[in-house]
Amino acid sequence: MRALTMSLAVFAFACVDAEQLPTGPGGGLPPGGSSGMTDAGANGGDNNTGLITGRVCRIVNLHTPTACAQNPDMSKIAVTTQGGTAQTVTALNGSFVLDVGPVAPTTRVVVQAGAQGFQTTLLPLRAEDSFTNILVPIVDAQAWTDLLAGIGVIVAQETGSLAVYFSRNSVPLDGVLVNNVVARSGIFYDNGNGPLDWTITDPTGLGGTVLVFGVDRPAVSFTARDRDKGDVRDVANAPVGSDTVTFLTIEFD
């Protein structure tokens, strides 16, 4: 068993439909985080105008991944679609409006956030999901570097990483195992002993969190299983970028 204790790590998570990726987070912004959001797609479909409105959220505690840092300066962070066909920058509180134009219901939109001092992150959306008041993850680059060093991970070149948060009724779910994924640089589970402790021994602890390092581009699929109930979630085609963190939330029934 390997463990890490750090003074700071910064994460955020986007709500993802485990049955059919990609999808978007629920509507609404903190306080409350995604635990207070409506389900993804509740206001989507015909109401989708192609304008994505939301806020870039800087998270300071991995065990509370939907709680944004209080009042940081989040201005001038670049927010784009994957590939940069649509782009904008954030206001002081991290809010933004991104015009992705008309999209068909089957179109996948990947919102990408990053700037100097932050690790690039990806957030998958589907055209039929609500594009209103989404929460876009951002990662402090130095904290991410410190995390990798602390657990002894060197992410393979030209690969990306996943930060996956498992929940049931918006509560972190312990006892989840991740299978059928190629992770060239390793898989680490929270072990429940502290907010920033990690172990290579599955399953998830009280934080319900898994970090998967060294995932091949452009997309990855995997299976998650609730050890106690035996429920399985098949996650297909989560987007992956080089030196990028893709954030997902997998909700179990």
3-state secondary structure of 33: helix
Non-local CB neighbours of 179 within 8 Å, separated by 6+ positions:
222, 223, 224, 225
Claim to verify: residue 176 and residue 133 sit in the same structural domain: no
The whole-number pLDDT of residue 7 equals 32
Q: Of the residues 123, 139, 155, which one is the last residue of a structural domain? A: 139
Whether residue 187 sits in one domain with residue 114: no
Which CATH number belongs to the domain containing residue 48 in this structure? 2.60.40.1120
Q: Assess if residue 5 is contained within a domain.
A: no
Q: Are residues 124 and 20 in the same domain?
A: yes
Q: How many CA atoms lie within 13 A of 175 on its CB side?
A: 11
Pair (246, 216) in one structural domain: yes
Would you say 122 and 112 are in contact if contact means Cβ atoms under 8 Å apart?
Answer: yes
The domain of 30 spans 15-139
User: What Rg, from alpha-carbon coordinates, does the chain have?
Assistant: 17
* 6 occurs within a structural domain: no
Write down the pLDDT at residue 104.
83
Shared domain check, 103 and 85 = yes
Task: Count CA within 13 A, CB hemisphere, residue 16.
Answer: 33
Residue ranges in the chain modelled with pLDDT below 70: 1-49, 61-66, 192-196
Does residue 1 fall inside a structural domain?
Answer: no
For residues 131 and 230, what is the distance between their CA atoms, to the nearest angstrom?
Answer: 33
Do 173 and 226 contact (CB within 8 A), yes or no?
yes
- Examine the fold and report which residue of 88, 112, 139 is the final residue of a domain before the chain moves on: 139
- What per-residue confidence (pLDDT) applies to 196? 67
Within 13 A of 81's CA, how many CA atoms are on the CB side?
17
* pLDDT score for 42: 29
